Amino acid sequence: MFYRECGNYKATYKEDMAIFPIPLDKWGFFIILIFAFLVVPFMANDYWISSIIIPFLIFSLSALGLNFLTGYAGQLSLGHAAFMAVGAYGSVILYGRYEVPFLLSLMGGGLVAAAVGTLFGIPSLKIKGFYLAVSTLAAQFIIHWAITHSKWVSGGGVYATVDTPPLYIFGWLVDTVVKKYYVSLFIVVAMVLFGKNLVRSRTGRAWMSIRDMDVASEIIGVSQFRYKLLAFAVSSFYAGIAGGLLAFVYYMAANIEEFHLHLSFKLLGMIIVGGMGSVLGSFLGAAFIVLLPLFISRMVSSWGGLFPADLLANLELMIFGGLIIFFLIVEPFGLARLWITVKDKLRLWPFPY
């Protein structure tokens, strides 16, 4: 009952522009935040936080970045993992080798990734669709080669791994799982709030007009040059920050092998399952894809657990592929759309007319 508004009662511009027009949504959001900040670290054990919740947060951030580019601006990218790699190496090198403070070096890694992403976004001005998708694949291969073959980046070690030194933020040592969780949570929440507002702004609307029809949007005066490249820049900035975080709090090293083409597809799968063009969708999709292998192995073990490990991995691949197809056919806007449907029903309930 308290979830509805029986009419458009917005009287001020401020109300009209609110992020959460419905009070219950706002409270729901704050409750989730309080839960994430105060309850999760004390309820969940270290295993859950370190191997499920932290990767979930970081992949959500990266998926959000891809969603800006693909879901909002309509430019399909198959090289997102490579931009994450740039961010990871960039921030680890800045922090470890040049002793730049953590937050600055994370930012620096993101900026480097944004610059590289913009560079690979240049073809989008001239080409679109599949040609563009393939040229973003080029980013994946070229960056992979550049990182493994450049001594300056990879440090000349085996497998191009650069280890992260112990992490200090303003002199505060981040060593336990819970501390790492807080670091990633703070950064993710800040970036998501920024992102949510970005897509509600002029920029977000420009992106959506490009997605819906770029020729038409150019005619009404949306600069393709500016907004397409901006989409690439913001998207790879998010990827870079996510990559840097991943290197610092999850892998404890920047390693190119973690940022393979496979991850690019996985991120694309996340936003398809979660919902293209939806901030919430990036989170739902990431949660889904991170939890999927866990769920499958639980289910298999409850059936008797006779499956060997590699069969399990292949089963996961099959289910992942099947889910992408399923969502594209049945619910093209993903899990986020399901939530919106529920919300629309609730708004009108109990008088649906």
Q: Do 91 and 244 contact (CB within 8 A), yes or no?
A: yes
Instruction: Tell me if 250 contacts another protein by CB under 8 A.
Output: no
Instruction: Tell me if 318 contacts another protein by CB under 8 A.
Output: yes
Question: Distance (Å, rounded) from C-alpha 73 to C-alpha 53?
Answer: 29
Interface residue with another protein among 320, 333, 334, 337 (CB under 8 A) is 320
Instruction: Tell me if 324 contacts another protein by CB under 8 A.
Output: yes
Residue 247 Cβ vs another protein, minimum distance, rounded to whole Å: 23
Residue 169 Cβ vs another protein, minimum distance, rounded to whole Å: 36
Buried b (16+ CB within 10 A) or exposed e, 97-129: eeebebeebbbbbbbbbbebbbebbebbeeebe
Interface residue with another protein among 22, 44, 142, 189 (CB under 8 A) is 142
Q: With CA atoms as reference, report the closest residue to 282 among 97, 78, 59.
A: 59
Q: Judged by CB, which is closer to another protein: 17, or 213?
A: 213
Please, which of residues 160-219 interact with another protein by CB under 8 A? 213, 215-216, 219
Instruction: Tell me if 331 contacts another protein by CB under 8 A.
Output: no
Interface residue with another protein among 21, 157, 305, 332 (CB under 8 A) is 332
Instruction: Tell me if 338 contacts another protein by CB under 8 A.
Output: no
Interface residue with another protein among 173, 193, 291, 317 (CB under 8 A) is 317
Contact segment (CB under 8 A) with another protein among 85-93, 137-145, 164-172, 252-260 equals: 137-145
Contact segment (CB under 8 A) with another protein among 153-161, 189-197, 294-302, 307-315 equals: 307-315
Question: Distance (Å, rounded) from C-alpha 35 to C-alpha 318?
Answer: 34
Other C-beta atoms lying within 10 Å of the C-beta of residue 200:
13
The phi and psi torsions of 174 (rounded to 5 degrees) equal: -100, 100
Burial class (CB in 10 A: 0-12, 13-18, 19+), 151: exposed
Q: Return the H-helix or E-strand segment holding 169.
A: strand 167-169
Instruction: Tell me if 300 contacts another protein by CB under 8 A.
Output: no
Question: Distance (Å, rounded) from C-alpha 81 to C-alpha 19?
Answer: 30
Contact segment (CB under 8 A) with another protein among 93-101, 158-166, 244-252, 268-276 equals: 268-276
Instruction: Tell me if 39 contacts another protein by CB under 8 A.
Output: no
Instruction: Tell me if 299 contacts another protein by CB under 8 A.
Output: no
Q: Do 249 and 184 contact (CB within 8 A), yes or no?
A: yes
Q: What is the DSSP string of 83-136?
A: HHHHHHHHHHHHHHHH---HHHHHHHHHHHHHHHHHHHHGGGGT--THHHHHHH
Residue 318 Cβ vs another protein, minimum distance, rounded to whole Å: 4
Residue 42 Cβ vs another protein, minimum distance, rounded to whole Å: 38
Q: With CA atoms as reference, report the closest residue to 268 among 229, 239, 233, 230.
A: 239
21: CB partners within 8 A, 6+ apart: 5, 10, 15
Contact segment (CB under 8 A) with another protein among 106-114, 229-237, 245-253, 322-330 equals: 322-330
Please, which of residues 105-124 interact with another protein by CB under 8 A? 123
Q: Judged by CB, which is closer to another protein: 128, or 196?
A: 128
Question: Distance (Å, rounded) from C-alpha 151 to C-alpha 161?
Answer: 11
Binding residues for another protein, rule: CB under 8 A, are: 76, 123, 126-127, 129-131, 133-135, 137-138, 141-142, 144-145, 148-149, 213, 215-216, 219, 261, 265, 268-269, 272, 310-311, 314-325, 328-329, 332
